[in-house]
Structure 1
Amino acid sequence: MSDAYIALADGRVVEARGRVPGRTRGELVFTTAYTGYEESLTDPSYEEQVLTFSYPLIGNYGVRDERFESDRIHPRAAVAREFTDEIVEWLAEEGVPAIDHVDTRDLVTTIREEGAMRCGIAVGPDATPETAREELEACKGMSEHADIGAQVSVTEPTIHRGLAERGSAASRTESDDGGECDVALVDCGAKGSIVSSLTDRGADVHVLPYDASVADVEAVDPDVLFISNGPGDPANFEAATALVEHFVGDVPLAGICLGQQVIARALGGTTEKMAFGHRGVNQPVRDLDTGRVVMTTQNHGYTVADPGPRLDVTQVNVNDDTAEGLTNEELRVITRQYHPEANPGPHDTLDFFDDVLDLAGGRDRKRPVVASD
């Protein structure tokens, strides 16, 4: 007898085995990543979503908090063909419902054919198809990701100092040592590895709330204004958009994932929701100038439909031609739709962070040493 149910927006109810009890609701999405489950589960971009892993066994190399991208799990529930006991214990500690013994191939096919969809989940001895449907009905009444930035952003500015010595572990605490440049990072749901990718290169990273004001940025007096990744619709991040509009042309601008979308909207472009998004570690991206193709890590459900008159597309997705890189050399703007910091995924594009800091004035910086586990 099943003790877990997923009610899908297409009318089906999927039966499964419950691993962590609870009731919840959210947007059902999938990732094709075969490693990096710790990083994925702690990625703030999965806030308010139900994450389905397409790889059949999740948890086979344990759980280590040094791999976490934030201080908590963000998906509202996790679904897999099979979870190991260790990852179930972690999910239980954080109160995140977990389901396995699911035909994830069928779920992924459904999402690819019908698009990411809302779902209701009920797990536990009292779970029934009806209770899962109740969650789905409640989900239908929710406005999409209303003010979601407040759920994933810092509430007060924080500083992460750049490393004085290259090749050592990334510093994540404040110190009295000034860095080689100051980056104002607007935290719309930033991954920790974005911060460490910048501090590894000697930058002082001033992490600001998602609704930071012009005065907040001016207090930093940054060399670069950086808009982070984050969950949901970029149209909901009005404060970050206003910052870009205010500082463009005066301060170099950079963005990753949601950050690219926010910058494009601020400079006259448009964005749109994708059918099922890009979530995985093997998305091929082609550079239009060099023809080089790199493999990238991605996690987004929206994309830049039209970059507008002020931005040029420099990179595209090989699979669907969506914009993966934008630039305006005169205004000193550079963005990426994918995650150059990876975690999980390939490190083909880590030099993006060197390019970002070069916008600060071409300082003579040493390249960081990438340490292996």
Structure 2
Amino acid sequence: MLLLIDNYDSFTYNLFQYLSELGADVHVVRNDKATVGELAEMGPERLVVSPGPSHPRNAGISIDAIKHFSGKIPVLGVCLGHQAIGEAFGGIVDHAGELKHGKTSMIEHDGKGVFEGLPNPFEAVRYHSLAVQPDAVPPGFEVSARSAESGVIMGMRHPEMPIEGVQFHPESILTRPGKDLLRNFLEMEN
């Protein structure tokens, strides 16, 4: 079972649909409707933390769930979920230096992990004003993708644990290789 934490965002069910179409058994839980202990009792095999409004510190159980499940099962954070991974591991999330709501950007990536086999660069939709700060990436994490235009961090991963975050929206129809990115996540080994 794949556990999808819903941070009260309309894109959550786009993620649900794509992941379900790719064969995942997806269970959605709102970020304030369960404890981490209750999530653990569900026995998820993967965790996805959805986009959402505000700062990741205001995303209910998202940060605590990331801390609990990291190193145990594969974890993917999308937009706010990506920022929550940053916060969970000691990174700093602050203003991105640019406001991107419903805007597309070219994403340059390292071709590894969730980016394996994807075009480089590719166009992706962004909806955010916050970002993991380039001088405060969580210790032990590596930047896996950036905006070609501005260099804003668009992806990061832990090199030893199956933890990936993407700032853009792979579940948007305008992010053409988004479904392939999600497929790559579903194929990640623990």
Shorter-normalised TM-score: what interval? Answer: 0.7 to 0.9
| Higher RCO, 1 vs 2 (CA within 8 Å, ≥6 residues apart) | 2
Matched, 1:270 2:92: yes
CA distance in 2 between partners of 1:214 and 1:243 (Å): 6
Matched, 1:298 2:117: no
Shift of 1:350: 2.2
Matches of residues 105-144 of structure 1 in structure 2 within 5 Å? none
Q: 3-state DSSP class of the match of 2:83?
A: helix
Q: Sequence identity, in percent?
A: 25
- Equivalent position of 1:195 in the other structure: 16
* TM-score, normalisation: structure 2: 0.86
Matches of residues 78-157 of structure 1 in structure 2 within 5 Å? none
- Equivalent position of 1:246 in the other structure: 68
Shift of 1:272: 0.3
- Equivalent position of 1:220 in the other structure: 42
The one-letter amino acid paired with 2:24 is A
- Equivalent position of 2:152 in the other structure: 322
C-alpha change, 1:302 and 1:295, in structure 2 (3 Å) is same
The one-letter amino acid paired with 2:128 is H
- Select which of 27, 31, 50 maps to 1:210: 31
The one-letter amino acid paired with 1:235 is R
C-alpha change, 1:269 and 1:200, in structure 2 (3 Å) is same
Question: What residue ranges of structure 1 are gaps of 5+ in the alignment?
Answer: 1-181, 362-373
Spell out, residue by residue over 1:328-371, the C-alpha distance to the aligned partner (whole angstroms, 9 max, x if none). Answer: 1421111211011113x24133211111111256xxxxxxxxxx
Spell out, residue by residue over 1:78-130, the C-alpha distance to the aligned partner (whole angstroms, 9 max, x if none). Answer: xxxxxxxxxxxxxxxxxxxxxxxxxxxxxxxxxxxxxxxxxxxxxxxxxxxxx
Spell out, residue by residue over 1:20-71, the C-alpha distance to the aligned partner (whole angstroms, 9 max, x if none). Answer: xxxxxxxxxxxxxxxxxxxxxxxxxxxxxxxxxxxxxxxxxxxxxxxxxxxx
Kept in 2: contact 1:279–1:300 (CA 8 A):
yes
The one-letter amino acid paired with 1:189 is Y
Aligned residues: 179
CA distance in 1 between partners of 2:60 and 2:171 (Å): 25
CA distance in 2 between partners of 1:289 and 1:201 (Å): 21
Spell out, residue by residue over 1:267-305, the C-alpha distance to the aligned partner (whole angstroms, 9 max, x if none). Answer: 111100234421234211101358921100111111011
C-alpha change, 1:360 and 1:188, in structure 2 (3 Å) is farther
After superposition, the CA RMSD in angstroms is 1.9
Kept in 1: contact 2:162–2:189 (CA 8 A):
no
CA distance in 1 between partners of 2:27 and 2:154 (Å): 26
CA distance in 1 between partners of 2:97 and 2:183 (Å): 33
Spell out, residue by residue over 1:168-198, the C-alpha distance to the aligned partner (whole angstroms, 9 max, x if none). Answer: xxxxxxxxxxxxxx11111102412110010
CA distance in 2 between partners of 1:282 and 1:242 (Å): 31
After TM superposition, where is structure 1 displaced by more than 3 Å over at least 4 residues in a row?
288-291
Matches of residues 181-192 of structure 1 in structure 2 within 5 Å? 182-190=1-9, 191=11, 192=13
- Equivalent position of 2:116 in the other structure: none
The one-letter amino acid paired with 2:40 is E
CA distance in 1 between partners of 2:175 and 2:74 (Å): 27
CA distance in 2 between partners of 1:288 and 1:360 (Å): 19
Kept in 2: contact 1:314–1:327 (CA 8 A):
yes
CA distance in 2 between partners of 1:347 and 1:289 (Å): 16
Matched, 1:352 2:181: yes
Kept in 1: contact 2:142–2:159 (CA 8 A):
no
Q: 3-state DSSP class of the match of 2:186?
A: helix
CA distance in 2 between partners of 1:238 and 1:312 (Å): 26
Shift of 1:238: 4.8
The one-letter amino acid paired with 2:156 is L
CA distance in 2 between partners of 1:259 and 1:216 (Å): 19
